[in-house]
Structure 1
Amino acid sequence: MYVSHLQLADYRSYPQVHLELEPGISTFVGANGQGKTNLVEAIGYVASLGSHRVANDAPLVRKGAERAIIRAAVVKGDRQAVIELEINPGKANRARLNRAPATRPREVLGVLRTVLFAPEDLSLVKGDPGERRRFLDDLLVARSPRFAGVRSDYERVLKQRNALLKSASAGLAKRRDADLSTLDVWDEHLAEAGAELIAGRLALVAELQPLVAKSYAELTSVGGPPVLQYRCSAVPDDAAHVPTGSPQLVDVLHSALRESREQELQRGISLVGPHRDDLRLYLDDLPAKGYASQGEAWSYALSLRLAGFELLRADGDDPVLILDDVFAELDAGRRRRLAGHVRHAEQVLVSAAVAADVPDELQGTRFRVHEGGVERE
């Protein structure tokens, strides 16, 4: 799988850009602020419908423009698919696949799959639980696009339930009984959607564990072994067993919701569910977040991404690998070992401010990015 053509209109710093790409390694070199990351970010957006740099779409539209357009041609074997995304901040985004309008943008998910390494990846180890939940959910969707619907359904239910809790918490006593009756219905919906999402995450963590351990050992001899542990908010920390099946998890969530209801009503927010879960990362039986050195944390973050790449590759096709300015953050040894891992992927896209930061193993086709222009050298 590879991207053969990328076209942008009013995306970030680009009024217009047309880029022809090939399989193998392509490197975008340019000083900071010239737009090299915008190019690889756009390709990542086509795959995930989200940016690794910002939480909402507004910054993706060039200043003064109403919308941004991304068009990408994706080659898989002897077939080609063209994806077009129209980004409309404050309104519904639109998508086309081979010129045919999609009912919802998420219908194009799965056509292009990417694995992206970026400086922000350090937050997978040292950041908040939300970063690790996003890592799991994005990988779930990449492997099985139906989880985009599961995640969307859960977020919709959670929003409605939180609104009801807030209303019941602040409302008059005579309205409280009616609110609680409706809350029972939303508990059902949250338990069902939440159980499916948690079951998917648990299965994914089990598959990731040996791959993360293998990648970490190959990247560094310091620390380890890495251990991944999924922390479910519906199950006590000292529980002997966390069920992995969706039907059993529905029951677990129902029970936890009943037990936490009074506290939820007092605080006006949902305290149980996959939105409160965490992927805990350990090194030498110690939490990596508090104990890992900078080098160990980088090795852990890279191992998580490499494990995701191996899972997607095992499904049948190499995902497009994107290395966004990551080599500037790594020492020479980790640069070399990471390059050795990824250089045989079908397509590798690298961005770098300094060409010398890119290991020799990744010296492919080079593009110079300067003042809003992209030129092949």
Structure 2
Amino acid sequence: MYVQHLSLTDFRSYSQLDVSFEPGVTVFVGPNGVGKTNIVEAVGYLASLSSHRVSSDKPLIAFDAERALVRGRLVRGTQATSVELEINGERANRARINRANPVRAREAAGILRTVLFAPEDLALVKGDPSNRRRFLDDLMVQLVPHHAGVRADYERVLKQRNALLKSLRGGRLTSAHEATLEVWDQHLAAVGSQLLHARMAVLTRLVPHMQKAYSELTDGSKVANAAYRSSLVSPVADDDDGASAPLEDLSTLSVEELTDKFLSAIASQRRRETERGISLVGPHRDEVELMLGRAFVKGYASHGETWSMALALRLGSFYLLSDDDHTPGSSPVLILDDVFAELDAYRRDRLASVVAGAEQVLVTAAVGDDVPAGLDGRHLSVVPGGLSEVPA
């Protein structure tokens, strides 16, 4: 799979940009702040409907513009597909697929698959649990686009339940309040169990690919691993790093069995939830524990090991997505956003040797020398507002 053409209108710093791509390696070279990351961010947005840099869409729209447009022509094997995403500041985002009538943006999920490496990936290992939850959810949606709706439904129900809990905070619970809460408990448990089941299934599939990737990026002396820690069996405190909490495997349970366990966990936390005015049980409180051997990565790994684990998560995702669809031309587009400047020479070369065989690799770098020779390809110089070809 590869992106053949990208067009941006009022996206970030670009009032208009058109760029054509080919399979293989394309390197965008330019100083920091000139807009090279904006280009690969747009490619990533076509795949995930979200940015790897910001949590909301508003910063993606150019100043004084009401909307931004990201258009891509995507080639998968022998088939080309055109996708247009309209990013709106106040209204719901829309999509057009092959120039048909507008549909909900999430209808475009899964048409393009990408795996993006960036300096922010250190937060996957060193940051708070929300980074790892988002990583797992994004991978889950790429594998099964339907889960985008499950995640959106969970966030909506959670927001409404939290609003109810906040309104009851500090007050006396009446029978009417209990009845209303029980309705929202049922909604939260039903959709939350679907999300939890999907997450655990994805992590189970990811782990062997992550282990392979970590071995390729290092000397192979340590084995990487990951485990899902659910608040259904081990409620997570706000300041908990998870390092000493017990882990329980829920991955063998059905959605129905998880729903029953979810409702029991909610009931056990009823007093605390009404006192604090917030939902304390559910996928929004869960953690993905990362380990090297028997030690937790967070707090124990060296800087190099931390980087290797972050890269292994991304590279493992690439392997999983490639393994998920063996159709010719279906492997994801690899994006390496200014990541080589953060790595030592050993990890640069190891990463380059592993990813060089991908159908399409998009790289950004402040200077061309940051890119290992093993990823040689077409170079484009990024200048304010546009691009220019760098002679070979």
TM-score (norm 2): 0.93
Partner residue, 1:267: 276
Tell me the SS of whatever aligns to 1:191: helix
Matches of 1:340 and 1:267, distance apart in 2: 51
Of 329, 336, 357, the match for 2:370: 357
Aligned length: 375
Deviation, structure 1 residue 91: 2.0
Partner residue, 2:315: 306
Partner residue, 2:62: 62
Query: 5 Å matches for 1:73-84?
Result: 73-84=73-84
Deviation, structure 1 residue 359: 0.7
Matches of 1:50 and 1:339, distance apart in 2: 26
Deviation, structure 1 residue 223: 6.1
Deviation, structure 1 residue 167: 1.2
Matches of 2:319 and 2:48, distance apart in 1: 18
Identify if the C-alpha distance between structure 1 residues 293 and 222 changes in structure 2 by more than 3 Å, giving closer, same or farther.
farther
Identify if the C-alpha distance between structure 1 residues 124 and 239 changes in structure 2 by more than 3 Å, giving closer, same or farther.
closer
Matches of 1:342 and 1:331, distance apart in 2: 17
Partner residue, 1:142: 142
- Over aligned residues, Cα RMSD in angstroms? 1.4
Instruction: Encode CA deviations 1:135-167: one digit per residue, 9 max, x unaligned.
Output: 100000001001101101111110111011111
Of 263, 267, 277, the match for 2:286: 277
Tell me the SS of whatever aligns to 1:27: strand
Q: Which amino acid aligns with 2:383?
A: H
Matches of 1:111 and 1:136, distance apart in 2: 19
Tell me the SS of whatever aligns to 2:380: strand
Partner residue, 2:165: 165
The answer (yes or no) to whether the contact 2:28–2:363 under 8 Å persists in 1 is yes
1:372 aligns to 2:385 (yes or no): yes
Gaps of 5+ in 1: none
Deviation, structure 1 residue 250: 0.7
Matches of 2:102 and 2:299, distance apart in 1: 45
Partner residue, 2:345: 332
Q: Which amino acid aligns with 1:136?
A: L
Matches of 2:168 and 2:366, distance apart in 1: 53
Partner residue, 1:286: 295
Instruction: Encode CA deviations 1:99-139: one digit per residue, 9 max, x unaligned.
Output: 11343100000110100000000000000000000010000
Deviation, structure 1 residue 221: 2.3
Q: Structure 1 stretch 206-215 or stretch 119-128: which is displaced more? A: 206-215
Tell me the SS of whatever aligns to 2:269: helix
Partner residue, 2:360: 347
Matches of 1:55 and 1:241, distance apart in 2: 30
Partner residue, 2:332: 319
Matches of 1:239 and 1:303, distance apart in 2: 22
Of 214, 217, 228, the match for 1:216: 214
Gaps of 5+ in 2: 235-244
Matches of 1:366 and 1:113, distance apart in 2: 23
What is the percentage of aligned positions where both structures have the same residue? 55
Tell me the SS of whatever aligns to 1:290: coil
Of 180, 187, 190, the match for 1:189: 187
Q: Structure 1 stretch 256-265 or stretch 281-290: which is displaced more? A: 281-290
The answer (yes or no) to whether the contact 2:229–2:248 under 8 Å persists in 1 is no
Matches of 1:140 and 1:102, distance apart in 2: 25
Q: Which amino acid aligns with 1:27?
A: V
Q: Structure 1 stretch 183-192 or stretch 235-244: which is displaced more? A: 235-244
The answer (yes or no) to whether the contact 2:214–2:220 under 8 Å persists in 1 is no
Identify if the C-alpha distance between structure 1 residues 241 and 26 changes in structure 2 by more than 3 Å, giving closer, same or farther.
closer
Deviation, structure 1 residue 203: 1.3
Q: Which amino acid aligns with 2:371?
A: V
The answer (yes or no) to whether the contact 1:223–1:296 under 8 Å persists in 2 is no
Instruction: Encode CA deviations 1:229-278: one digit per residue, 9 max, x unaligned.
Output: 10000013546542432111111101000100111000000000000001
Matches of 2:109 and 2:348, distance apart in 1: 31
The answer (yes or no) to whether the contact 1:202–1:244 under 8 Å persists in 2 is no
Runs of 4+ in 1 over 6 A off after TM superposition: none
Partner residue, 1:200: 198
Q: Structure 1 stretch 250-259 or stretch 209-218: which is displaced more? A: 209-218
Query: 5 Å matches for 1:237-256?
Result: 237-238=245-246, 241-242=249-250, 243-256=252-265
Q: Structure 1 stretch 124-133 or stretch 99-108: which is displaced more? A: 99-108
Matches of 1:51 and 1:241, distance apart in 2: 32
Q: Which amino acid aligns with 2:360?
A: Q
Matches of 2:246 and 2:114, distance apart in 1: 37
TM-score (norm 1): 0.97
Matches of 1:68 and 1:107, distance apart in 2: 18
